[in-house]
Chains A and B, each alone.
Chain A
Amino acid sequence: SYELTQPPSVSVSPGQTARITCSGDALPKKYAYWYQQKSGQAPMLVIYEDTKRPSGIPERFSGSSSGTMATLTISGAQVDDEADYYCYSTDISGYHVFGTGTKVTVL
């Protein structure tokens, strides 16, 4: 089955830039989406269609995609950004999948 691979954890100091990668063979042809999930809460969409930011999401969140890798960048990370982050996409057949998840620590 299709897999999206993320690093298990990323640590960043407040105000610095955090980058979370997501690797998948179908990403050259399929959009990536990024979700933020804080403890005990439902996921929240922070990036859709590789690079677009939903209304209300701070500008410090940005997305990019090149080849088989999508990247979520948090520029000027804040303590409030501590959360688990998941990429999400589909394979060539249209089956949906979440990435393995990345725990972002800001300290």
Chain B
Amino acid sequence: QVQLVESGGGVVQPGRSLRLSCAVSGLTFSAYGMHWVRQAPGKGLEWLAVISYDGSNTLYADSEKGRISISRDNFKNTLYLQMNSLRPEDTAVYFCFARNGSLDYWGQGTLVTVSS
């Protein structure tokens, strides 16, 4: 059974940093490109970043470039998202997902609330 479990969310003050994790099991992690997506309360899905199966290539949404960093550890089957200089508008549920052709798996998300 494939599982993606996000963690690291919570309440954080504006200006602080946070690192989210996505632990993956039940699939060959090193064969999948991995993405981070977020969804603000009551809003649509926003794509943030992707990392290639081996970590050699990354792409970021223009709006967040320079403020976030995606990485992966293929030995630990874990994906990461480092977020810096957090703002109230970063408040959202953050999802990780894995895709390889028609195989597409999502976690249930972790809530990040940026508030003083």
Number of interface residues, chain A, beta carbon within 8 A:
23
Whether, in the assembled complex, B35 has its beta carbon less than 8 Å from a beta carbon of chain A, the answer is yes
Shortest C-beta distance, A21 to chain B (Å), equals 16
Q: Say if the beta carbon of B66 comes within 8 Å of chain A.
A: no
- Is A35's CB under 8 angstroms from B45's CB? yes
Besides the contacts A44-B106, A54-B103, what 6 more A-B pairs have beta carbons closer than 8 Å?
A: A45-B104, A54-B102, A55-B102, A94-B59, A96-B35, A98-B47
Tally A-B pairs: CB < 8 A. Answer: 51
Are B106 and A42 touching (Cβ within 8 A)? yes
Is there a chain B Cβ closer than 8 Å to A37's Cβ?
A: yes
CB–CB B62/A42 < 8 A:
no
Chain A residues, CB < 8 A from B95: 42-43
Cα A86 to Cα B104 with chains together (Å): 15
B55 on the interface (CB 8 Å rule)? no
The closest CB in chain A to the CB of B62 belongs to: A1
The yes or no answer to A10 lying at the interface (CB within 8 A) is no
Count of chain B residues with a beta carbon within 8 Å of a chain A beta carbon: 21
Residue numbers of A with Cβ under 8 A of B are 1, 35, 37, 41-45, 48, 52, 54-55, 84, 86, 88, 94-101
Between-chain CB contacts (< 8 Å), 21 pairs: A1-B61, A37-B45, A41-B108, A42-B95, A42-B107, A42-B108, A42-B109, A43-B45, A43-B95, A43-B97, A43-B106, A52-B102, A54-B102, A54-B104, A88-B47, A96-B35, A96-B47, A96-B61, A98-B44, A98-B45, A101-B44
Which B residues touch A1, using CB under 8 A? 61-63
